Structure 1
Amino acid sequence: MNVFEYAALRVVPRVERGESMNVGVIVYCQARDFLGCRVHIDAARLRALDPDLDLDGVRAALTAVECTCGGGPHAGQAGDEPLGSRFRWLTAPRSTIVQAGPVHAGLTGDPAAELDRLLDALVR
């Protein structure tokens, strides 16, 4: 078993109302050299929070998170950073519509399977 860290990704359409909805999960496992992200957008539920929400903007922000996790040429400058640095950057507090929640830790033998389990438990 290995230690892993994770954070839920949430959409906060209107900060002043204090409402948010989980739309994804980021998992980092240093021992397995793993950084992954899964997202699931329920457009109807998001529209219930804010009918004027820019869903294309939300999708673009989540795609950027996925690209940063995956590295490579589409990840920009952050894609060249070590996985741990990318995870810390992605989970740093920010006041944008797409935010990472608090970082939590656990034990897993398979971080990719943990990512899928967390998506089901926290998002779907």
Structure 2
Amino acid sequence: MRVPYEYAVIQAVPRIERGELINVGVVLYCQRRDFLQARTHLHEDRLRALDPQADTKAIGEALASWSATCTGAGAASAMSLGERFRWLVAPRSTILRAGPVHMGLAIDPAEELQRLENILVR
């Protein structure tokens, strides 16, 4: 049986004033399956094409925090999965941000997350 899910693409915007971005991950939430996970991939050459001085190490560490938040690390431990997802996708003006939230239907949220990462990020 297919269940509804929500997802957003994680974007890196190394020079916020220029508005240029690359997709660096996907965060997917499925309430019915108690599933929240982020999959990320930082393509350093693409990022440096937008900003040759981009701190790829710091951006990679910040990306890891998205996955950690999904699992309930730190302050996120007191939040429900839905609250964590909403916190991650809230608008912000930082180098990493979430794009618009989209909806879909899937049998297996983990497989769908892998599929979305492959077509939207890799």
In the superposition, the TM-score normalised over structure 2's length comes to 0.96
Q: Segments of 4+ in structure 1 off by > 6 A?
A: none
Q: Which residue of 2 aligns with 1:78?
A: 76
Question: What displacement does 1:49 show?
Answer: 0.6
- Report the 3-state secondary structure (helix = DSSP H, G, I; strand = E; otherwise coil) of the residue aligned with 2:33: coil
Q: Which residue of 1 aligns with 2:118?
A: 120
- Report the 3-state secondary structure (helix = DSSP H, G, I; strand = E; otherwise coil) of the residue aligned with 2:105: strand
Identity within the alignment, %: 57
Q: Which residue of 1 aligns with 2:44?
A: 43
- Distance, in Å, in 2 between the alignment partners of 1:56 and 1:99 is 17
Aligned ranges for residues 5-84 of structure 1 at < 5 Å? 5-71=6-72, 75-84=73-82
The gaps in structure 2 that reach 5 residues or longer are none
Opposite residue 22 of structure 1, the aligned amino acid is: N
Offset from partner CA, 1:56-112 (integer Å, 9 cap, x none): 1111111111100112xxx11112210000000000000000001000000011000
Mapped contact 1:25–1:119 kept (Cα < 8 A) = yes
- Report the 3-state secondary structure (helix = DSSP H, G, I; strand = E; otherwise coil) of the residue aligned with 1:27: strand
Task: Give the one of 90, 93, 107 matched to 2:91.
Answer: 93
- Report the 3-state secondary structure (helix = DSSP H, G, I; strand = E; otherwise coil) of the residue aligned with 1:94: coil
Opposite residue 32 of structure 2, the aligned amino acid is: A
Opposite residue 93 of structure 1, the aligned amino acid is: P
RMSD, aligned α-carbons: 0.7
- Report the 3-state secondary structure (helix = DSSP H, G, I; strand = E; otherwise coil) of the residue aligned with 1:69: helix
Matched, 1:105 2:110: no
The gaps in structure 1 that reach 5 residues or longer are none
Opposite residue 115 of structure 1, the aligned amino acid is: L
Offset from partner CA, 1:17-76 (integer Å, 9 cap, x none): 1200000000000000000110011111111110000111111111111100112xxx11
